[in-house]
Amino acid sequence: MRMMQKMGMKVDEVANVSQVIIKTDSKDIVIEGPSVTLVTVQGQAMFQVAGGQVSEAVPQAAMAAAPATPAVEEGDVQLVAQQTGKSVEEARKALLEAGGDLAKAIIILKGETASR
C-alpha cells in the first residue's frame, strides 16, 4: 500500500454498489452485485469492476429508435393518385410502402401498370 502511495496511486473501495451498466450502441451490459474499486494514478481516475452476475440487454434507445410507420399527408396521397390514375387507397398504400417518398410511390404504381 505504501509503495502504491509513493508511486502516486490511491485505491479506494466504492461502497454499496448494487449494479454497473455499460452502455454501447448495440447493447447494455449489466453487472449485478459487483465489487468496484476506484484507482487514482497521477490524477487519472480508473474504475475496476470485478465479480457479479453479467447479463446483456437491448438498450432502450435502440428500441425507441425503431422505425415507425411514416405519416402520409393527404395532399401527397392526392398527388400520387392524380399522377398515376390510381385510387386514393392504392396511392396511400404505395406511399406507405415507399416510406413517404412521392417519387418512389409513383414509380411503384406506374411499374404495376407497366407489368400488367
Which residues touch 7 (CB under 8 Å, ≥6 apart)? 41
Q: Give residue 38's pLDDT.
A: 92
- Angle, CA 29 vertex, CA 23 and CA 34 arms, to 5°: 115
CATH 1.20.1540 at 74-115, yes or no: no
Write down the pTM of the prediction: 0.47
Q: Give residue 116's pLDDT.
A: 45
Q: Is pLDDT at 66 greater than 60 in this prediction?
A: no
Sequence ranges of the chain with CATH classification 2.20.70.30: 2-64
The string of pLDDT tens digits covering residues 6-62 is 777 888 899 999 999 998 888 889 999 999 999 998 888 999 999 889 988 887 655
Task: List the CATH code of the domain at 2-64.
Answer: 2.20.70.30
Sequence ranges of the chain with CATH classification 1.10.8: 74-115
